[in-house]
Every structure is written in C-alpha cells, then in structure tokens.
Amino acid sequence: MKLNDLIAEFHELEDLIIEAGGEVTPEIETLLNSNSEAMNDKLDKYENLKRYLKGQIEYLKSQENHYKKRRNALSNTIKWIGESQTSVLMQTDKTKLKTDEYNYSIRRTESVVIDEKNISPDLDKDLIKQDLAESVMKYNRAEIKKKYKDEAELPVWLEFIEKWSVTAR
C-alpha cells in the first residue's frame, strides 16, 4: 500500500469519527490500529531505503575518489611517457622518426608566463588599450607572445618557457 493511500485511509477514519459524533467506536479503533501499523511499516521501509541510498552515495563518493586517483595516475604516466619519447628523440638528434606503426616528430611549443605581481595598475591599463589584456585582467597570452616574441629584452613581468613534445600519428 502506498503512503498516500494510508493517509487517505486516515482521512476516511477521521470522517467516520465525525459521523460517530466524535466517538471512537471499537470498529474505528481496530481500523485505526491497523492503519497505524501499516503506516509505521511503510515509514520504516522508506527510512531503510533512505539509509541504504545514503550508504550508496557514500560508496559512490569513495569510488569517485578511487577512480580520480587512478585517472590522475594514468594521466601522469602518459605525461611521463611523452616526456621520455621526447627525450629519446632529442638525445639522438632526430626530429622525425618513422616506425612500422607510427610517424614521430618533435615540435617545440612555448608558453607565456606572466608575473602579475610585477604589473602595475598603469601597465594594466596600457595592456588593455593595446588589446593585450581584458578589463578583468585576463592577459591575452597569444597577443603578448606576438608582441614581445622578437624583443631583445623582455619586461620584468614576462618570461617565455620552451617545451618540447612528441607528436605521433
């Protein structure tokens, strides 16, 4: 029986009590006890289900953490393998290598590191005017790289970092 059905039966019992002038007859008392027991059982089952589901949630959270650790470990391994491949090709002075399965080539990439502590508010405004930054002070790294790439001397707040990696096709 559904909980809503049990509540509907309580309403029917209420109507019977009203019809009996407020008197709880032996028949009404029997129905009331039966309905109360059924409702108690239903509430207990709901509570048991709720506690079971809470336990499932905790189990799933622990599994999320477990799989997150596994994913991170695998990501770190992939990164390490890529760095090892790059190192091998660089140490052998090979920029390209063809094997039976893959064609490897090394490429150089650069990332822009901006030391925001060394950027004054006036410089922030100037960078915004040059479309090298946004007013939320999200620096346009690509444009900064274009502008300063061939400069003999970089500003104190800017550094270019080279990184080598392998491409496999």
Answer yes or no: are the C-beta atoms of 167 and 117 closer than 8 Å.
no
Answer yes or no: are the C-beta atoms of 108 and 164 closer than 8 Å.
yes
Last residue of a domain, one of 68, 85, 104: 68
102 with 154, same domain: the answer is yes
Task: Please tell me which residue, 34 or 90, carries the higher pLDDT value.
Answer: 90
- Phi, psi (degrees; rounded to nearest 5) at 167: -115, 130
pLDDT score recorded for residue 136: 81
In a domain, 25, yes or no: yes
Q: Looking at the 3D structure of the chain, how many domains does it have? A: 2
62 with 101, same domain: the answer is no
106 with 52, same domain: the answer is no
Alpha carbon distance 3, 40 (integer Å): 10
Q: Give the predicted TM-score (pTM) of the model.
A: 0.47
In a domain, 82, yes or no: no
In a domain, 73, yes or no: no
Answer yes or no: are the C-beta atoms of 168 and 100 closer than 8 Å.
no
Q: Which of 6, 76, 73, 62 has its CA nearest to residue 38?
A: 6
Which domain, by its residues, includes 45?
3-68
